[in-house]
Homo-oligomer: A and B are copies of this chain.
Amino acid sequence: MTGREFFTARTVAEALAGFRPDHRTPVEHVPLADALHRVPAAAVASPAPLPGFVKSTVDGYAVRAADTYGASDGLPSYLDLLGAVSMGAAPDVAVRAGGCVAMPTGGVLPDGADAVVMVEYTAETMPGTIEITRPVAPGSGLVRADEDVTAGAPLVPAGRPLRAPDLGLLAAAGVTTVAVHARPRVVIISTGDEVVPPSTVELLPGQVRDATASALAGLVTDAGGEPVVAGIVSDEPGVLKDKLAEVLPTADLVVVSAGSSVGARDETAGAVAAVGSVWCHGLAIKPGKPTLLADCGGIPLIGLPGNPLSALVVFGQVGIPLLWRLSGCEHPPPAPSTLARLSRDLASATGRLDVVQVQLRDGVAEPVFGPSALLSVLTRADGYLVVPEPATGLDAGTEVEVTLYR
C-alpha cells in the first residue's frame, strides 16, 4: 500500500531545484500606501536627482570656504551678514567674498557659497557682522544636488519586497505608484469525510474541525500571498476532481490538504492526476512524507499530508519558496533565527530532511516531541531546526540554528 503510494519520491532539495513553474502573477500598479512588502516587477529609476538642490545639512552660515581659512578662537574671521535663506524657497541673495548668509538645515545654498559653517562656531558679535572661529573646507555642511540619488539611478531593485524606507525614497522622488507582481492567489482545498468547518459547534464522534486551512491561510498571508479558502470536499470519488477543475482557472497555486487516511490520499492522488501531471508523490521529509507536487497546466499544485503539523511543515519548506517564485520575489525576506545548543541527540536518516520543533530556554534548544497528529506541538514550539539531508542525526550539545516563529 505504501509502496504504491510513494512511487515517485524525491528529496526536498530535488523539489526546490526541479519543481520550478514558469508561471508568474500579472503586474499591477499599486499606490505607495499599499506597496509595503510588494515585489516590484522592475527596478524603479529616479526621474530626477535627489535632493535636487545643494542642501545645507546644518544650521549656520553659507560662506566661501576660503574666507574661513585660518580662523580660530584667538583669531576669528569676520564676515558681513548679507541676508538669510528661508526654508522651501530659493535664496534671494548671493554670497560674495567677505560675506555670508544665514542658513537653516535643509535650506538651498545661495550662489557664490561653497560651504556652510555650523552656528556653534559662530557669533553675531555686532549686528550685521558674523564672527567665525573654525575654518571649513569647500563642500562642508552640505550635500550635493545628486548625492542621495542621481537621475536615472535605481530607487529600488526588482524582485525584492519593498521595505518601509524604500517607500520613503520612492515618495521623495515623487513616485506614488509602483508596478508590482499581483499577490499570488493560493486556493486552499480541504478534503476528508471527517473534516467539518471550524464554526461547527458540536462535533459528532470522529469529526474534526478544519485546522489546516486557517493555519495555511496565515502562512500564505505572511509570505505575501492571498489565501482563498475554498472549503471542504468529501472523499467521494470525482468530487475533488470537479473542485480542482473549478478553481484552477482562478488560482496561481493550489493547495490540497489531504484527508489523513490512505483512502483519502489515494483519492487525492487520483484526482490530481486527472487534471495535471504529477511531479512527485512522496517527499523525503519528516514530518510530511505523503506530499504530492503536480503541474496543472502551468499552475503548481501541492497535495499536503492530512496531519496539520505535517501539512504546515511541508508548506513552510516547499510551498513558501514556490509562492515567492510565483510573485517574482528573488530576494525573500530573512527569517528570524538564533543559535542554540541542542539538548539531546536527534536521529535522522541520510537523504531525509528532518524538521524538528523546539522550545528555547537559556540558549538551549529542547525538541518538542509528539505525534504529528498533534497541532499543539507547533503552537508550543518557539521555532524549528532542520537536520539536513546528508546528516544521519545531530549530537546533544551541537550548536544549531533555530528558525524562530513570528
The chain A residues found within 8 Å of chain B, CB to CB, are 1-2, 32-33, 36, 50-53, 55, 57, 59, 85-90, 104-108, 119-120, 143, 147-149, 155-156, 161-176, 192-196, 198-201, 203-219, 221-222, 229, 235, 259-264, 306, 308, 312, 333-339, 370-376, 378-379, 404-406
- The 7 A-B pairs of least Cβ separation, nearest first, read A164-B218, A168-B215, A88-B194, A104-B261, A333-B406, A90-B205, A171-B198
Which of B163, B198, B379 meets A156, CB within 8 Å?
Answer: B379
User: With a CB–CB cut-off of 8 A, which chain B residues contact A306?
Assistant: 105-106
Contact B165 A312 (CB under 8 A): yes
Are the C-beta atoms of A87 and B261 separated by less than 8 Å? yes
This chain: copies in complex: 2
Which single member of B87, B222, B371 contacts A206 (CB below 8 Å)? B87
Which residues of chain B have C-beta atoms less than 8 A from A196's C-beta?
Answer: 88
Whether B194 lies near A106 (C-beta < 8 A) is yes
How far, in angstroms, from A132 to B191 measured CA to CA in the complex? 31
Contact between A195 and B373, CB atoms less than 8 A apart: no
Q: How far is the CA of A379 from the CA of B50 in the complex (A)?
A: 14
Report chain B residues within 8 Å CB of A86.
193, 206
Contact check, B334 vs A404: say whether CB atoms are below 8 A apart: yes
Contact partner of A106 (CB less than 8 A), chosen from B174, B215, B260, is B260
- A148 contacts B210, CB within 8 Å? no
9 contacts between A and B (CB under 8 A): A59-B262, A106-B261, A108-B206, A164-B216, A171-B209, A172-B308, A174-B199, A335-B336, A339-B339
Contact call A106/B147, Cβ cutoff below 8 A: no
A205: chain B residues at CB < 8 Å are 53, 89-90, 108
Q: Are B338 and A204 in contact (CB under 8 A)?
A: no
Residue of B whose beta carbon sits closest to that of A2: B120
